Structure 1
């Protein structure tokens, strides 16, 4: 069994992307660029799905806040995903954004709790 899986993909515009996951490896999909003059490969940190993910995580934030507004029981990220549905990456990004905004707090047990609803 491999320690990491590396994925090289190509889109319709012939741009190449690299992602990797596995033991001690978590490289999100990133643009891989080749400079023919220097023969150098570089990774662009911007993910191609970033705008779509940001929009999806915004919708997920609203769903998460609505859920905690009705049931304030602390939940892990996976349980939050189970409760609100949608895309796992968008939900996890939304949880992180809500923590940064001060609406959720992460407990030592890995569960997230509502600290304040926006506008209250």
Structure 2
């Protein structure tokens, strides 16, 4: 069932690695809240357990299709590709703030500007 869940390997040594680890932790929290194992989530979204683990650990860059599928399965409100309706990104000079626009009272994720730029370059390479 593994079908190219990511668009790159070995991101942990790059500047965007910390962002990937933060993103992966969010996926893991949603999965655990949904009461699913990595294998169960992988089966429901059409990817292997090892690929889900690699995304959760920030070792793999997830494809947009995987992000959308995980959001649907776990009931996440909106998604990273929801036309900007869910994820807001604010440039604060030396940092970038990312938050769920549907939950404005909750904490935002702060990422260094360099890490964010590296993450965006990796994402654009797809």
TM (norm. structure 1) is 0.27
Q: Which has the higher strand share?
A: 1
Question: Relative contact order (C-alpha < 8 Å, sep 6+): which is higher?
Answer: 2
Q: Which entry has the higher C-alpha Rg, 1 or 2?
A: 1
